[in-house]
A and B are shown apart, each in its own frame.
Chain A
Amino acid sequence: MGRRKTTRFWRVVNAVLATRPGAKLAEITRAPINKLSGLMARSKRERPTPWAPFTKKFPEARLAIVTTAGLHVEGDPPFDIDDVRGDATFREIPADVDPRRLRIAHAHYPHQRFLQDHNVILPLDRLHELVAAGALGGLSPRIFSFGWGGGLTREYIDPKTGTAHEVARRLQADGADFVLFVPT
């Protein structure tokens, strides 16, 4: 295990993204960043291809949300945005959270649109409306929120210690019938 390496770089990026020109720059550079990140993410290793068929009707199905938006409830510890490798830990957010209590600890995307309207990342208003109308069975009580993943892999998928496994077990305990994953 290597020593934890930290950088102030992403804090600077975060401050730039919080400005109007910085947010604009993020949109202009999106295409090359996507291309480069796609190339870097390529792996020669064969990965498992699990498949769980979705057989329920939506009015009987309980939806759980999982995101990597770096969201957490105020008062909960924020994600580590200084670790050069990323932070594979997660926070729980109640599905009935007051959105005004949500905070972002993620330095890789502009936050302005979320601060205007939480539904651009967590469309909770729409989902609660669907549940109230009987079109969706319900929302799982916990939203699971991860931080920036960087190049981390084992920290998520290791069967014994991986945080994704812990989240999967908690989703099972919550009786989730399907999961919507939201990136940022």
Chain B
Amino acid sequence: MRSAREAILADLRPVRRLGRPGERALVACGAAGVVLAVVPAWLGVRSDLRQMSGWLVWGAYLLQVVYASLLIVAALRDAVPGRQRPRESTVLFAGGIAIVLTITAVTWLGHPTSLREGTWGTSWRTCFTTPVILGLPPLLLTLYLIGRAYPLRPALVGAVAGLGAGLLVDASWRTYCPVTDPVHILTSHLAAVLVLSMAGAAIAFAQARVTRRG
């Protein structure tokens, strides 16, 4: 028992206490807010926005943004020892996927639009690659904040954070992409969200391994 105690005493110095998950989530959501503003400001909004019901566009947008923020708060909370709730996080994760699927179905039923023939490849490239790239800054910032804590289940925490970042970007991307065809949405939009989630899990796992090697 002596050696650990002595090692700690030799290294004893004041530390800055970690902020609460909600406060830290504000930082991550601030970065995500920039991404949310970038898409309509830089790329504009979908051409058929006026023909669609406001609920279908902004209701879905709001739902996704609020849920994504919840996911980020949950990830930051789970990164603190003793406050993790893995079952709740797993349910939240499944809920995030369910929300994307529900919004996809509702928008397809309310306003069906499909891709023009021969544009599948270009659309896939645009609607998969761009959200992944736009999602990286909020994801990396969230992962940095997670790394500042001490996640005991880094892969789960990273996956939840990645899903949160993915949903935020997807919410914004839906105001730009006019296609509501489920095949397009699932193979590009949802795929981008899942890739961000997997990247979050992998990065958080690697980060925890590296930081705990000492």
User: Are A and B genuine complex partners?
Assistant: no
Task: Report which B residues bind A (CB closer than 8 A).
Answer: none
Task: Report which A residues bind B (CB closer than 8 A).
Answer: none
